[in-house]
């Protein structure tokens, strides 16, 4: 098949554009990793340099020697794992009946769910609700308020609507009830979409620090991202020295090392679910 001159120009410009996009995305990552291993003098003399001439691990040694960082890591990991499991479970349990046209409350519940995507009670109302429920300074303040996301619910509901009704009808003829159909037919056929929303929920739980700032005053319950936010905002707000036996390096080295330490785990998880990502979103957005 011959390629015309116009197509060659298009492919060339398309490759250049994609290379520029990749550069824009990769540059901050390489910059942070490089500066986290760069000495303070070299960082001051060459602020735009990506790769250090001499490796300096003082920032990592200082951060990883602190018990505070490991405690925040544990809280964040537990929040991500437990929160994602609860999110996927309850989202699937609500999305399944909303995908059935013969469900009487389908339209009403769908309108109420989508209404929350544009309107909310606001920060003050949420804070008063959390305090009234007694969730302040508890682990469940990270889980219960974010149990179901409307956007993910709609994606999963639309995916369930793609499953042929004949499969469920044949299962009912064999004596299967709704629970059996849901667990043995619907869920196995929806793994691509479930993996997609699981990734959405996991990234949300790992990156969020806002609820730690609003509802958690106990430092032992802080997540890694809020600990990092406090460190970036003011390096003197939360001092690692109380729990670290390593000499304190420059504040910039600590910040860069914390960013890398808090980002690497989610980057390691993403490649395993990336193959489901595009397929799950596209298939779940076909039918409304």
Q: Could you give the CA distance from residue 204 to residue 8 in angstroms, rounded to a whole number?
A: 41
Q: Could you give the CA distance from residue 192 to residue 245 in angstroms, rounded to a whole number?
A: 46
pLDDT range class, residue 87, cuts 50, 70, 90: very high
- Both tokens of residue 110? 């769908």
252-277 per-position pLDDT tens digit:
777 888 888 888 877 777 777 666 66
**pLDDT value of residue 234:** 64
**pLDDT value of residue 13:** 93
Summary count for the chain: helices (H), strands (E): 14, 0
**pLDDT value of residue 218:** 86
Query: What 3 state SS string does 209-274 have?
Result: CHHHHHHCCCHHHCCHHHHHHHHHHCCCCCCHHHHCCCCCCCHHHHHHHHHHHHHHHHHHHHHHHH
- pLDDT-above-70 percentage for the chain: 88
**pLDDT value of residue 235:** 52
- Both tokens of residue 175? 């004596």
- Ordered by start, the domain boundaries in the chain are 5-45, 64-283
Mean pLDDT of 188-213: 87
pLDDT range class, residue 91, cuts 50, 70, 90: very high
Q: What backbone phi and psi angles, to 5 degrees, belong to 159? A: -65, -45
Provide the 3-class DSSP secondary structure of residue 56.
coil
> Nearest-CA neighbor of 243 among 69, 57, 61, 74?
69
Please give the model's pTM, rounded to 2 decimal places.
0.78
Name the residue with higher pLDDT: 276 or 240: 276
- By mean pLDDT, which of 27-31, 33-37, 67-71, 200-204 is the weakest? 67-71
* Four-way CATH pick for 64-283: 1.10.3720.10, 3.50.50.60, 3.40.50.300, 1.10.10.10: 1.10.3720.10
**Residues composing the chain:** 288
**pLDDT value of residue 85:** 95
pLDDT range class, residue 286, cuts 50, 70, 90: very low
pLDDT range class, residue 69, cuts 50, 70, 90: confident
**pLDDT value of residue 280:** 53
pLDDT above 90: residue 16: yes
- Judge residue 92's burial from the number of C-beta atoms within 10 Å of its C-beta, 0-12 exposed, 13-18 middle, 19 or more buried: buried
25-47 per-position pLDDT tens digit:
888 888 888 888 888 788 878 88
Mean pLDDT of 219-248: 68
157-190 per-position pLDDT tens digit:
988 888 888 888 888 888 888 888 888 888 888 8
Name the residue with higher pLDDT: 243 or 272: 272
- At CA 280, angle to CA 274 and CA 284, rounded to 5? 160
């Amino acid at each position: 098949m011959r390629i015309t001159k116009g197509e060659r120009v298009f492919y060339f410009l398309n490759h250049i554009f994609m290379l520029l996009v990749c550069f824009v995305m990769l540059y901050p990552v390489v910059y942070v990793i490089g500066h986290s291993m760069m000495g303070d003098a070299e960082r001051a003399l060459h602020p735009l340099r990506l790769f250090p001439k001499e490796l300096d691990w003082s920032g990592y040694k200082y951060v990883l020697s602190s018990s505070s960082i490991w405690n925040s890591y544990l809280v964040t990991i537990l929040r991500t794992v437990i929160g994602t499991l609860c999110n996927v479970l309850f989202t699937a349990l609500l999305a399944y009946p909303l995908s059935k046209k013969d469900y009487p409350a389908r339209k009403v519940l769908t309108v109420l769910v989508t209404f929350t995507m544009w309107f909310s009670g606001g920060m003050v109302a949420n804070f008063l609700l959390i305090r009234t429920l007694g969730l302040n300074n508890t682990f469940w303040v990270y889980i219960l308020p974010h149990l179901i996301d409307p956007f993910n619910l709609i994606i999963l509901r639309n995916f369930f609507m793609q499953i042929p009704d004949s499969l469920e009808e044949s299962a009912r003829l064999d004596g299967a009830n709704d629970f059996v159909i849901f667990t043995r037919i619907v869920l196995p056929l929806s793994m691509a979409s479930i993996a997609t929303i699981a990734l959405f929920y996991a990234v949300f739980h790992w990156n969020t620090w806002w609820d730690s700032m609003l509802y958690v005053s106990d430092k032992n319950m802080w997540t890694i991202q809020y600990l990092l936010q406090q460190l970036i905002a003011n390096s003197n707000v939360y001092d690692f020295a109380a729990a670290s036996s390593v000499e304190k390096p420059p504040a910039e080295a600590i910040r860069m090392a914390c960013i890398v330490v808090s980002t690497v785990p989610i980057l390691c998880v993403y490649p395993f679910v990336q193959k489901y990502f595009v397929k799950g979103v596209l298939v779940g957005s076909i039918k409304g």
